Amino acid sequence: MTTPSLPDRGQRTDATTVRVQVVNELGLHLRAAARFVETAARWPCRVVVGTVGPVVDGKSLLALSSLLARQGTLLTITCSGKQHAPAADALRELVAQGFRSGSDST
């Protein structure tokens, strides 16, 4: 299994990187990770997510779960390719809202 990597600084790329803190009391638990993956899947771009270690595929539930991100963890989300900017904004908003969509209480 290969770990996705961020583009080298020397490469020209169409990418947006955002950093957002996990505010959800339960952290990036399975249901929250599923919402993240669902949201990421709506966009045609590549999504990678990391904390202080390696980055993982943001469209993989198993990979996201491996981050073990607790409340207070700072996530770095990089979206590259088509529609990277709106994808990054949507994912940042989802995390900032505690993975809530609409009137959820998760």
Distance (Å) of CA 29 to CA 71, 80, 100: 10, 25, 13
- For the annotated catalytic residues, the residue numbers are 29
Q: Comparing 54 with 99, which gets the higher pLDDT?
A: 99
pLDDT of residue 99: 94
Percent of the chain topping pLDDT 90: 78
Structure tokens at 78: 């990089």
Residues across the chain: 106
pLDDT, tens only, 44-94:
999 999 998 889 999 999 999 999 999 999 999 999 999 999 999 999 999
As a whole number, the mean pLDDT across the chain is 87
- According to the model, what pLDDT value does residue 6 have? 53
Measure the CA dihedral 81/87/89/93, to 10°.
-150
Cβ contacts of 25 within 8 Å, gap of 6 or more: 71, 98
Residue 9 has pLDDT above 60, yes or no: no
Model pLDDT, residue 105: 47
pLDDT of residue 13: 66
- CATH superfamily for domain 29-96: HPr-like (3.30.1340.10)
* Predicted TM-score (pTM) of this structure: 0.83
CA–CA distances in Å: residue 61 to residues 8, 13, 14, 34, 103: 25, 26, 25, 6, 23
User: Mean pLDDT, to the nearest integer, of 12-31?
Assistant: 91
* Domain residue extents for the chain: 29-96
90's tokens:
């949507």
Are β-strands 74-80 and 46-50 bridged in parallel, bridged antiparallel, or unpaired? antiparallel
